[in-house]
């Protein structure tokens, strides 16, 4: 990541100084440690912010125009705060436009701005570069305009931007952890109440390591929607079987599932088993981290991957290869696919002393098996969005 002085130099070459307030801001990507496909079932997730982030520099303008320069793609867009229409080209701009749209809908007054940003979050890898862009835009526009928007409110605002303007029906997890993440803590989120807790991840003997399969997530909407539909069918089934209020699979206990699973269609039963057991794994994982029982947490990660692979069927050959290779390495306590699936990354829990050997071995073996050079990122839990400087 370029240092701020270099970025300000680029900014000043790109834009004429307006004499108004300027500043630099950042927001991180995230990796989900455990709790996959539980969010839209009103369940539990346990992500953490990662050391990869987006940095945005901005300065207010004297008019209602916003100009944005993306350093990664070397492209620029501009739009009026009074005429926000989704772009068909340079669609990354819709994340920014959606955010300023939601800020204005919330009753805040904005001025135009000149913005540049740079990112080292891998795109289409399931590490939430889009949520980071939303959050850093919200923080930049809020601080430049002297607006007081609390982190939780900002996360919800960014989620609405993605739901309403971009048109992606995401949950709250990505925006929450980008806003609320803290160094040395994972973030336990209840996706029904939106309550959250910081969970310590402080043991200096263990590290989170992310392996990028380089298979871009083919999160085909039809597959994702099919899973949601299957979960809804299972929920309706249990509503009729159990004499109590049931809103989502989150409300079904493992014993209740076991009692009636044979009456469900086989595929629907597998989908339900994943979600119900995964919610228990997240809660057990939080307990394990609080007790600094990293071997127990690693075992839960392994069980999560098996469930995602066999019951939910959202893994792919390359992710399975990465997990299998990881579990053969010395010092690895746990490994699983992370994110929605069908490509993207795995997340691994490793004893620090073995990380160098792990990286070398995984790169060699994965290349041998797939012909692909994987990217590997070592990252402790990082801080959420923050102001780097105001001028």
Candidate ranges 112-116, 127-131, 168-172, 240-244; pick with highest mean pLDDT: 112-116
Residue 169 pLDDT grade (very low, low, confident, very high; cuts 50, 70, 90): confident
3-state secondary structure of 184: coil
Q: What is the pLDDT of residue 332?
A: 98
- Condensed to tens digits (0 to 9), the pLDDT of residues 301-310 reads 999 999 999 9
Q: What is the pLDDT of residue 176?
A: 96
What residues contact residue 105 under an 8 Å CB cut-off, 6+ apart? none
Residue 229 has pLDDT above 90, yes or no: yes
What residues contact residue 315 under an 8 Å CB cut-off, 6+ apart? 305, 308, 309, 337, 341, 342
Q: Please, where are the H alpha helices in the chain? A: 4-14, 93-105, 129-144, 151-160, 173-180, 221-241, 254-260, 266-290, 294-310, 317-327, 355-370
Q: What is the pLDDT of residue 222?
A: 62
Q: What is the pLDDT of residue 224?
A: 79
Range scoring the smallest mean pLDDT among 163-177, 186-200, 249-263, 322-336: 163-177
Share of the chain above pLDDT 70, in %: 98
Catalytic site residue from 39, 70, 101, 174? 174
What number is the average pLDDT over the span 147-164? 96
Question: End-to-end alpha-carbon separation of the chain, Å?
Answer: 21
What's the mean pLDDT when you consider all of the chain? Answer: 95
Residue 86 has pLDDT above 80, yes or no: yes
Residue 66 has pLDDT above 70, yes or no: yes
Cβ atoms 275, 249 nearer than 8 A: yes
Residue 319 has pLDDT above 70, yes or no: yes
Cβ atoms 70, 92 nearer than 8 A: yes
What residues contact residue 316 under an 8 Å CB cut-off, 6+ apart? 213, 215, 341, 342, 343
Q: What is the pLDDT of residue 219?
A: 53
Model confidence, pTM: 0.94
- Condensed to tens digits (0 to 9), the pLDDT of residues 334-347 reads 999 999 888 999 99
Max Cα distance, the chain (Å) = 70
- The rounded distance, in Å, linking the Cα atoms of 7 and 119 is 12
Cβ atoms 273, 253 nearer than 8 A: no
What number is the average pLDDT over the span 200-216? 91
Q: What is the pLDDT of residue 220?
A: 47
Range scoring the smallest mean pLDDT among 57-61, 62-66, 114-118, 126-130: 126-130
3-state secondary structure of 276: helix
What number is the average pLDDT over the span 162-171? 86
Catalytic residue check, 174: yes
Instruction: Considering only residues 339 and 170, tell me which one the structure prediction assigns the higher pLDDT.
Output: 339
């Amino acid at each position: 990541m370029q240092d701020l002085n270099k970025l300000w130099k680029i900014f000043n070459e790109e834009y004429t100084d307006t004499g108004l307030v300027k500043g630099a801001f950042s927001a991180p990507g995230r990796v989900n440690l455990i709790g996959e496909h539980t969010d839209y079932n009103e369940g539990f997730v346990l992500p953490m912010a990662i050391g990869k982030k987006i940095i945005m520099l901005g300065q207010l303008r004297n008019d209602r125009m916003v100009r944005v320069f993306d350093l990664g793609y070397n492209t620029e867009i501009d739009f009026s705060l009074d005429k926000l229409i989704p772009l068909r080209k340079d669609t990354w701009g819709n994340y920014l436009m959606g955010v300023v749209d939601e800020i204005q809908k919330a009753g805040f007054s904005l001025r135009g701005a000149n913005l540049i940003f740079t990112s080292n979050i891998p795109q289409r890898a399931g590490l939430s570069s889009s949520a980071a862009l939303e959050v850093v835009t919200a923080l930049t526009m809020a601080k430049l305009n002297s607006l007081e928007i609390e982190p939780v409110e900002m996360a919800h605002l960014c989620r609405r931007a993605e739901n309403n303007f971009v048109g992606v029906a995401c949950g709250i997890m990505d925006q929450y952890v980008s806003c609320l993440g803290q160094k040395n803590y994972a973030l336990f989120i209840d996706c029904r109440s939106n309550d959250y807790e910081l969970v310590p991840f402080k043991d200096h003997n263990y590290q989170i390591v992310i392996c990028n399969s380089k298979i871009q997530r083919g999160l085909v909407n039809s597959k994702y929607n099919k899973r949601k539909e299957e979960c809804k069918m299972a929920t309706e089934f249990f509503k009729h079987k159990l004499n109590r209020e049931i809103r989502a699979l989150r409300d079904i206990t493992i014993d209740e599932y076991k009692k009636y699973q044979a009456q469900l269609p086989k595929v629907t039963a597998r989908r339900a088993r994943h979600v119900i057991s995964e919610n228990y794994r997240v809660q057990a994982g939080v307990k394990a981290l609080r007790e600094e029982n990293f071997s127990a947490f690693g075992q839960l990660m392994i069980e999560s991957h098996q469930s995602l692979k066999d019951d939910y069927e959202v893994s792919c050959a390359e992710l399975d290869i990465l997990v299998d290779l990881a579990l053969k390495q010395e010092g690895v306590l746990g490994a699983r696919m992370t994110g929605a699936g069908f490509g993207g990354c795995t997340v691994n829990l490793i004893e620090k002393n073995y990380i160098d050997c792990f990286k070398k071995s995984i790169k060699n073996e994965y290349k041998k098996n797939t012909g692909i050079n994987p990217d590997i990122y070592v990252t402790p839990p990082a801080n959420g969005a923050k102001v780097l400087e105001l001028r």
